[in-house]
Amino acid sequence: MESMHHLLYQIHGIEVIVISIAILLCDAIGVLVLLSTVAKSVINYFHKDRHVKLMLAQGIALALEFKLAAEVLRTVTVRDLNELVILGTIILLRGAITLLIHWEIKTERDDEEKERLLELEISRSEVKVDVVEK
Please name the residues in contact with 56: beta carbons below 8 A apart, sequence gap of 6 or more.
Answer: 37, 38, 41
- With 0-12 / 13-18 / 19 or more C-beta atoms within 10 angstroms meaning exposed / middle / buried, residue 87 is middle
Average pLDDT over residues 130-134: 57
**Buried-state track 106-117, b at ≥16 Cβ within 10 A, e below 16:** eebeeeeeeeee
Answer whether 0.75 is exceeded by the pTM.
no
Res 21: pLDDT: 94
- pLDDT > 90? residue 133: no
Mean pLDDT score across all residues of the chain: 83
Among 30-34, 85-89, 129-133, the minimum mean pLDDT is found in 129-133
Tens digit of each residue's pLDDT (9 = 90 or more) over 51-65:
888 888 889 989 988
d(CA 87, CA 85): 5
The domain limits of the chain are 2-133
Res 29: pLDDT: 97
Among 26-30, 43-47, 69-73, 77-81, the minimum mean pLDDT is found in 77-81
